[in-house]
């Protein structure tokens, strides 16, 4: 076996890709900022610098190991360099640590203490950039960014979106959304994976704890909570426990202690979702229409589909997510039964997900000005809420969920892990079709591989399923379907790696091992459940009997279903040559699809032509996102008319035919100022 020597200890090389992995294998935890085992190697922060004999100082994360290397991790030079790096980062970092959302959980703060940095010899940051807090899910504070690039890489490499990237050079380098816009104005899907990897307070989930405290203090409000499956196996981490420990009863007890009137289980709504989604799937399967059916539980995935693959929206299940089903049932049915106005019930969702904050504010889920869900707390926010209340979590005695939304099945519990929704639908289908398989576990759809498929038999029916988590993997699957290389009946998509257990609102470290441990906890909870199939949930059946008639009924559709439409990836326009009153508005789409088809070359041609002496001042040229129909070529908009099929080769001809002809609509009096030729007039006439 080849080996290296780390601080005098021999360590075998057994597939490790870099020196950092071997150093950690030796039991030494080198500090890092920009290194993440699930992302590409960046090697920018230099915190993991080691000294190698006959080589010198190198970044351990980006240095491949070689047989016989002698590595030193704690020489005077490496220690001095690390402290200097931390000092330089602190000098450019807004040091309001006591009021920062990441106070106590900030990696920069922790390493400054660990390395003994007690004084910063450089000046403080003088210019403060505006904080981007318009996004309903994520707050971006550029003053706390240390340019580690983790958010850039996770958004691009794992999610395949690229809503954040580096801009500028030298001292002006920064991480920013496209064109310096706010995060809510670009194609961000609110998944929060950038928040999950950010080592400082540059990216944090948008807190709603104050709104919850205000509601709890309002005597006119009946405050009820719903708790998502993945929260119960992660909240313990906020109190020093290991990932995967099931803390359901303690969460209920804690919320009751601080004033919640009722504490319900989102798993009830997950069971309800499985029943509705199964009914919808079996109807489509019988008619062989709108297949494959995609799950619609994940708001990050739904927004991704709206922005990038609007052609598949008819294939999405019309079922609301469990969060929104619960809110709808409580506001429209439960409140009426209790004799309470919907606006007087304050529904708090406790979720592992930052995208749920965005989902709760979608107009589809607001009726007569009343939101189905009033506030969404992440798992991290729940931990903070309980600490603010002085709850000693470890000493609590568990309590049961309140009825009627406390009776649940194991099928609803596993919604929180990748493959769980597909498995719950399969269990429900077996119950609905009265097929006794002798088992309820469909292990074919389980696992943490990013993209997997399975063939499952339900009696005489053979089903082809796909399960995918991480939007980068979803893009690969959808592109394969577009090319005709894959064909499925049912596809489950979760935006976050591992599913909800890896949501952007979960405690750090939110890595593969933590996600697997949380997923294992959910499967343990599933096995302990007396009822395993959502179709067996008596409380769900009672809800249909009392209010909703049957799965798929008109009443059920009104309360439990919704619809989605195409969404622009980036909001607004970019002015190219100013805005002049009375001038003709001409826009060129520079969204992803059009960009790949040459829209920047088209825009360059249009810019040159609109700057001609005879046209200048009569055209307001803009770059815009997104005019749709990009599969036909670059799209442009002239006045109110959208024109597709433009290419760099026909851009000049298109400008003449679409823009000049619009300017010269009057053949007697030329509006472009150059005097129309007979050829111009004939073209306009045509």
How confident is the model at residue 661, as a pLDDT?
83
Q: Which CATH superfamily is domain 573-685 in?
A: Glutaredoxin (3.40.30.10)
Is 298 considered catalytic here?
no
pTM of the model: 0.86
How far is the CA of 473 from the CAs of 96, 450, 495, 648, in angstroms? 38, 6, 9, 32
List of E strands, 352-416: 366-367, 370-371, 375-378
Is 148 considered catalytic here?
no
Residues found in the chain: 686
Q: Please identify which of the residues 364, 367, 631, 653 carries the catalytic annotation.
A: 364
Residue ranges of the chain with per-residue pLDDT less than 70? 569-573, 578, 592, 628-631, 665-686
Q: Please identify which of the residues 297, 594, 626, 672 carries the catalytic annotation.
A: 297
Q: Please identify which of the residues 102, 356, 357, 637 carries the catalytic annotation.
A: 356
How confident is the model at residue 660, as a pLDDT?
87
How confident is the model at residue 38, as a pLDDT?
87
The CATH code of the domain at 3-74 is 3.10.20.740
How far is the CA of 320 from the CAs of 133, 323, 427, 604, in angstroms? 27, 8, 19, 44
Is 356 considered catalytic here?
yes
Phi and psi (nearest 5°) for 496? -90, 145
How confident is the model at residue 171, as a pLDDT?
82
* pLDDT tens for each residue of 504-532: 999 999 999 999 999 999 999 999 999 99
Q: Please identify which of the residues 100, 198, 500, 589 carries the catalytic annotation.
A: 500
List the chain domain ranges.
Answer: 3-74, 88-205, 209-560, 573-685
Angle in degrees, CA 50, 53, 56, rounded to 5: 55
Phi and psi (nearest 5°) for 565? -140, 170
CB 363 within 8 A of CB 138: no
d(CA 679, CA 321): 59
Is 359 considered catalytic here?
yes
Dihedral, 333, 563, 409, 552 alpha carbons, nearest 10: 70
Q: What is the DSSP string of 127-180?
A: PPPPPB--SSSEEE-GGG-----HHHHIIIIISS----EEES-GGG-EEESGGG
How confident is the model at residue 599, as a pLDDT?
86
Q: Please identify which of the residues 276, 359, 381, 423 carries the catalytic annotation.
A: 359
Dihedral, 443, 448, 454, 457 alpha carbons, nearest 10: 20
Is 317 considered catalytic here?
yes
In angstroms, what is the C-alpha Rg of the chain? 28
* pLDDT tens for each residue of 110-145: 999 999 999 898 888 778 899 999 999 999 999 999
CB 643 within 8 A of CB 656: no
How confident is the model at residue 240, as a pLDDT?
92
How confident is the model at residue 487, as a pLDDT?
93
CATH entry 3.40.50.1780 includes domain 209-560: yes
Is 364 considered catalytic here?
yes
How confident is the model at residue 630, as a pLDDT?
67
How confident is the model at residue 235, as a pLDDT?
97
Is 514 considered catalytic here?
no
Q: Please identify which of the residues 137, 156, 317, 432 carries the catalytic annotation.
A: 317
Is 280 considered catalytic here?
yes
Q: Domain 88-205 belongs to what architecture?
A: 2-Layer Sandwich (3.30)
């Amino acid at each position: 076996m080849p080996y290296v020597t780390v601080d005098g200890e021999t360590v075998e090389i057994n597939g490790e890709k870099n020196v950092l992995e071997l150093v950690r294998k030796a039991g030494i935890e080198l500090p890092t900022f920009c290194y993440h085992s699930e992302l590409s190697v960046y090697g920018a922060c230099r915190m993991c610098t080691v000294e190698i004999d006959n080589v010198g100082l190198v970044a351990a994360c980006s240095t491949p190991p070689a047989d016989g290397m002698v590595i030193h991790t704690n020489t005077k030079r490496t220690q001095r360099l690390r402290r200097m790096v931390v000092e330089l980062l602190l000098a450019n970092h807004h040091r309001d640590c006591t009021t920062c959302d990441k106070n106590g959980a900030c990696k920069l703060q922790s390493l400054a203490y660990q390395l003994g940095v007690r004084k910063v010899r450089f000046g403080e940051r003088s210019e403060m950039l505006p904080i981007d807090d318009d996004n309903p899910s994520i707050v971006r504070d550029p003053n706390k960014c240390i340019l580690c690039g983790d958010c850039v890489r996770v958004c691009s490499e794992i999610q395949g979106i690229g809503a954040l990237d580096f801009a500028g050079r030298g001292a002006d380098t920064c991480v920013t959304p496209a064109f310096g816009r706010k995060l809510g104005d670009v194609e961000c899907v609110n998944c929060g994976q950038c928040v999950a990897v950010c080592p400082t307070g540059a990216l944090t989930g948008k807190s709603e704890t104050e709104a919850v405290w205000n509601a709890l203090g309002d005597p006119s409000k009946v405050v009820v909570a719903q708790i998502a499956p993945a929260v119960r196996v992660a909240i313990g981490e906020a109190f020093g426990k290991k990932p995967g420990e099931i803390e359901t009863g303690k969460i209920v007890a804690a919320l009751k202690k601080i004033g919640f009137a009722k504490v319900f289980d989102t798993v009830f709504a997950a069971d309800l979702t499985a029943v509705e989604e199964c009914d919808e799937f079996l109807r489509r399967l019988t008619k062989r229409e709108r297949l494959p059916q995609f799950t619609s539980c994940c708001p990050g995935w739904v927004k991704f589909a709206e922005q990038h693959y609007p052609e598949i929206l008819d294939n999405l299940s019309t079922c609301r997510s469990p969060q929104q089903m619960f809110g709808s049932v409580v506001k429209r049915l439960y409140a009426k039964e209790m004799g309470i106005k919907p606006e007087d019930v304050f529904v708090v969702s406790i979720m592992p997900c930052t995208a749920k904050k965005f989902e709760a504010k979608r107009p589809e889920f607001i009726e007569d000005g009343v939101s189905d869900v009033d506030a969404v707390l992440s798992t991290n926010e729940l931990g903070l809420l309980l600490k603010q209340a002085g709850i000693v979590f470890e000493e609590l005695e568990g309590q049961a969920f309140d009825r009627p939304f406390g009776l649940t099945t194991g099928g609803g519990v596993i919604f929180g892990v990748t493959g769980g929704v597909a498995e719950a639908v399969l269990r429900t289908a077996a119950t609905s079709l009265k097929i006794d398989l002798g088992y309820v576990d469909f292990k074919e759809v389980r696992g943490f591989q990013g993209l997997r498929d399975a063939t499952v038999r339900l009696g005489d029916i053979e089903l082809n399923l796909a399960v995918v988590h991480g939007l980068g993997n979803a893009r690969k699957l959808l592109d394969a379907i577009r090319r005709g290389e894959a064909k499925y009946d049912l596809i489950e998509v979760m935006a976050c790696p591992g599913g909800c257990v890896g949501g952007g609102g979960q405690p750090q470290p939110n890595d593969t091992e933590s996600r697997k441990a949380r997923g294992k906890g959910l499967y343990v909870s599933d096995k302990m459940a007396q009822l395993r199939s959502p179709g067996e949930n008596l409380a769900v059946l009672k809800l249909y009997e009392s209010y909703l008639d049957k799965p798929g009924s008109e009443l059920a559709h009104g309360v439990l279903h919704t619809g989605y439409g195409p969404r622009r990836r980036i909001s607004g326009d970019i002015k190219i040559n100013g805005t002049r009153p009375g001038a003709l508005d001409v826009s060129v789409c520079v969204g992803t699809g059009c960009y790949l088809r040459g829209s920047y070359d088209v825009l360059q041609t249009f810019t040159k032509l609109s700057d001609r002496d005879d046209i200048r001042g009569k055209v307001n040229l803009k770059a815009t996102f997104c005019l749709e129909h990009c599969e036909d070529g670059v799209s442009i908009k002239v006045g109110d008319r959208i024109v597709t099929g433009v290419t760099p080769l026909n851009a000049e001809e298109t400008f003449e035919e679409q823009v000049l002809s619009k300017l010269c609509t009057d053949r007697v009096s030329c509006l472009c100022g150059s005097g129309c030729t007979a050829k111009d007039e004939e073209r306009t006439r045509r």
